[in-house]
Structures are given as structure tokens and as C-alpha cells.
Structure 1
Amino acid sequence: MTEQIATTDSRTEFDAKAAESGQQATERYQENHRVEIEVSTERVNLLAVEVLNSLADTIRRHKVSYDEFQAVKGWLIQVGLDGEWPLFMDVWVEHVIEDVATEARHGNKGAIEGPYYVAQAPSLATPATLPMRADEAGTPLLFQGTITTVDGTVLPGATVEIWHADSHGFYSQYSPGLPEWNLRGTVIADEHGRFQINTIEPAPYQVPTDGACGKLIAAAGWHAWRPAHLHLKVSAPGQQLLTAQLYFTGDRHLSDDIASAVKPELILSPTPVAGGPGEEVTYDFVLDPISA
């Protein structure tokens, strides 16, 4: 049965502002990703020098002027003021980090996390229906599958964290007027490693364009669109966490995603539900073991 949840914000999701969602993304990052690692002086020197030398090479090759330099400096300051560093890094850098980090895996392909993850979404037993408004717009979607190890062993009790935009392209906790956990949940697989999740199909959306990142997009003549997608984090004891985005066949932005995160293995092809409304799709997850 659909969990009906109300909103107390008098604004609507269409009132979302880049600076507001950017600050929220920055705060979430600081809450969820405090990483403290030991990095040698040699490693820091290697990476910092290569990045700075690459920047210097670009400046020299393209004869960057002082006015251009000052404009970029001001833009970098504004990215921080708008709280959009998580958006900038996730849209234009994370896909390369993800490729490098997961290149040795034998299980499912992954994808970027993106800036809109929120930890500790409500725990739901399978078959589950994500929290949503009573009048939630969109095409109903049954998303189901099985979670196994690379040798085919099923993983009972594995968890599927799922979150996605609504049918207008907005995320709860990053747009006003949406219930706190709208279209977010942590689904627990059954004793056979199976999960069933009832939700709605998300819409394609533009990354925020009224902030600093939007100014870069406009100045460079790019588009700001991401194809519709489901976000997932799939985990089980002894297995590596899989972070993924799953897309939908036929989306016009599969080939030119601004975040460069689409992979052929991540594209879903839902089919109509027999004798019922909406669509369904089966997608199985294969997790790699944690290295000893």
C-alpha cells in the first residue's frame, strides 16, 4: 500500500533555487563523506604538480588573458558561495573517478553517486512501495531483481538504497514543497536475494542553471540535461558496495548526458505490466567480494 505523506512547505518544487539546493548538497556532503586518509607527501606532490602543470599548459597554449583569469577566479569564488562544488565535481569529474575506482570489478557496472544522496532513508521490506504523495504523478514502475555474488550465490537480506527524481525532475530534500523522504527508501531483499520496488518512472531533468554551474553551461554553449535515471546503492556483508544509476531506453539524452555517466549495461527496457497499470523491469545485481 502506498505510504501517503504530506508536505508542510508552502512553496512548491518549482520554486527550487540553485543556491539553496547547492548549500544543501554541500551540507549533505560534509555529513556523509568525511574522508580522512593517510596520503604520502610524494603522492600529494605528484598529483598537485600534474594538475597545476596541466592548467599552466592550457593557459600558455591558449594565451589566456588577465581579464579571462580574473573572470575565472570570480566564477570559482561564486561556485563556493552557491554551494555548488558538489554539483561541479559530480557532473564533470566523478565519472572518471568512478571508472578508475571500479575498473577491476567483475560484477555489475556502476555509475556516479551524484549530489543528491541522503543516507538513512526509511527501511522497507520487499515487496516495497517507496514513500510518495497520495497523488504522485508519473507512470507506475515495478523495479525488481535478484542480488548475488560473482559466483552466483544469492545474498539474502542484501539492501537496495534507491532514490530518484519525481515526474518533474525534482528531488526530495533538495527542492521545496516535497515530503522529506519522497521517492527514497532502503529496501531489504528476501531470503532468496530478491527485491521488488514499486515506484514511478522519473523524468529527465536539467542540472540547476541559475547558479555558477549554470553560468558555465551557458557560457560554453552546452546543454544542462541528464537522462531520467534511478539512483541505487546495493550492499551486503562481505561484498563491495555498488553505486549505480539506471537509465531508460529511448531517452533523448542517453548519448549526450551532461554528466557523462551513461553506460550501455545500465540502460533499462521496461515493458507494460500485464493486466495492470504502468511498466515493470527486472535488473539483477552481481556484487564483487571485498578483497582480503
Structure 2
Amino acid sequence: MTDATQQTPAAQTPAGQATAAASGAAATERFRGKQHTEAPVAGTARVGLLASEAIAAVHDVIRRHKVTYAEYDALKSWLIQVGQDGEWPLFLDVWIEHVVEEVANENREGTSGTIEGPYYVPGAPVLPAEATLPMRVGEAGTPLLFQGQVTAVGGAPLPGARVEIWHADADGLYSQFAPGLPEWNLRGTVIADGQGHFKIHTLEPAPYRIPTDGSCGMLIAAAGWHAWRPAHLHLKVSVPGHQLITTQLYFESGSHLDDDIASAVKPELILAPAPADSGEGNEVTYDFALDKA
């Protein structure tokens, strides 16, 4: 086992210190950087069609529910505040992205995808096929061996596949989006072996609430919703010549599988860990099948 543990004490950061404003600003900045590296994806006709129908859908809601000027002004104020808080990535990824992902991957034959979420960071440390994710000494959580194989649809092994993995810590916090965490805490890019196999030593994440002290929290409170996401691992799996898969994997004994605020849980993405053969923590096997590009 390759140990990439960072020698930093695990003085766990209280969740209250991860403010919506700071998290939102970081997510917005990451997204802007991503946009600078990507070409436009739609012509004027397509933009006109989508924008017109989206606006028409809002008009329909207003007419059907007889929206008042007071409600309209409250909405306008809230939309302005979302931008000021930097929470558009959070809002869109929590309430909209799962439908975009559903449409984008409707013809995929291999492993199911789900939302990326706002906390992905490219360039995580590259690790060998069996590795321990970077973490603090004494990092809280149940040890987890997450292992599997990457193949093509049909079963052919895909040597050297990249398995990018990131997840929250025991406080529900993501490195680079909360104070006090090492830069690459619980993030890594594992390179599968010649048969596509990988073994990742990490810790089981905990369920967490999305930040509620900003505009998204205002909406949640006003609507009487909860803010919880079930515990999950984030993954991006890729190899040249095949379609990248972005997904999340959940835990069968976890809470909020049936009422995830982001509506991202799919039955085929739920893991069933068992006690590890080593006697330390749990282990689970999950294989990925990638479609041809």
C-alpha cells in the first residue's frame, strides 16, 4: 500500500466555519476558470430556443399560481443575493444538474453517471494503482478499502485508467472549499494497473448539509425543505478512446438516500460495504464499464 498521508494533525474543522460565502466564492472561481478553457457550445439559434422556452416556463408558473408583486419582488431580491453570495454554482448543481446529467447520459450503456457537484478540483495528486488518499494524521472516519476494475463495455480491461476520487471529511467539508484543511485532503488521481484494477484506501465519508447560511439556505428555509446530502464518494473515471464517466457512489446503510436534496441517488450507485479482510474498517468492490468515445 502506498501511503500518501499528509503529516498534519487532524484538528477537525467545525462545520460552522465553512461559510456559504467562502464556499460559494471558491466554487464560482473554479467554474470561471473552467469556462476560460472551453469553447462556446451553442449557436444563437440554440441559445434563443432554450432561453425562450425557459422564460416561457417561468411565465407559465406565474400565471398558474397568480404570483403577486410582493412575491415577485422577493424573488428578484433573492436572485440578486444568490449572485452576491457566489452561490449560483451551488444552486445549479444541487437543483438543476441532475436533469442535465440524465439527458446527457441517456444513451450510455456502461456505468451510470450522476452529478459532478460544485467541489471538483482538477489536478489532484497522481497515485499508483494501490494507494492511500492524502489525509491528516488521525483523520476521523471508518477506514474504507474501495477497489474495483475499469473495463470497456463488454468486459475488456482498460489499462492505466484514471480514477479521480474526492469526498468530504467526517465534518462534511471538502478541501479547498473550507478553512483549515490541507490542499488535497481526501483527493487523488489513481492510475489503474495493466488490467484496469485499483485499490484505494480512504475513509467512509459522512452525510452532510449543504451550506445554509447564504441564499440557498434562505430558499431551503422558506420552502420548508431539508439541506442534507447522503454520504458519497465522487469519481471521474477516464481512459483515451472512451467516454469519461462522472458519478457518485452512496452507502446502503446511509441516511437521505430517498430524499437527497440534489436528487442524484440512483439504485445502481449504492454500495454495500462489508467488514474488511484485514479486520480494519470496511471494504467494497465496484467496477466501472466505459462506453466507446
Query: Normalised by the size of structure 1, how large is the TM-score?
Result: 0.96
Aligned counterparts, 1:221-260, within 5 A: 221-260=224-263
- Aligned-residue offset at 1:6: 2.6
The structure 2 residue matched to 1:98, chosen from 84, 96, 101, is: 101
Partner Cα separation in structure 1 for residue 79 and residue 41 of structure 2: 28
Partner Cα separation in structure 2 for residue 144 and residue 99 of structure 1: 26
Q: Which runs of 5+ in 2 are unaligned?
A: none
Partner Cα separation in structure 1 for residue 11 and residue 20 of structure 2: 18
The residue number in structure 1 matching 2:31 is 29
RMSD over aligned Cα atoms: 1.7
Task: Tell me the amino acid that sits aligned with residue 25 of structure 2.
Answer: Q
- Aligned-residue offset at 1:44: 1.8
Aligned counterparts, 1:1-292, within 5 A: 1-6=3-8, 14-34=16-36, 35-290=38-293
Report sequence identity in percent.
63
Paired residue total:
290
Partner Cα separation in structure 1 for residue 251 and residue 12 of structure 2: 33
Go from structure 1 to structure 2 and tell me whether the alpha carbon gap of 1:43 and 1:137 turns closer, same or farther (over 3 Å shift).
Answer: same
Task: Tell me the amino acid that sits aligned with residue 69 of structure 1.
Answer: Y
Query: Normalised by the size of structure 2, how large is the TM-score?
Result: 0.95
Q: Which runs of 5+ in 1 are unaligned?
A: none
SS at match of 2:217: helix
Task: Tell me the amino acid that sits aligned with residue 253 of structure 1.
Answer: H
Task: Tell me the amino acid that sits aligned with residue 26 of structure 2.
Answer: Q
- Aligned-residue offset at 1:8: 12
- Aligned-residue offset at 1:36: 2.5
Task: Tell me the amino acid that sits aligned with residue 32 of structure 2.
Answer: Q
- Aligned-residue offset at 1:167: 1.2
- Aligned-residue offset at 1:14: 4.0
8 Å CA contact retained: 1:7, 1:178: no
Go from structure 1 to structure 2 and tell me whether the alpha carbon gap of 1:10 and 1:132 turns closer, same or farther (over 3 Å shift).
Answer: closer
Partner Cα separation in structure 2 for residue 226 and residue 61 of structure 1: 31
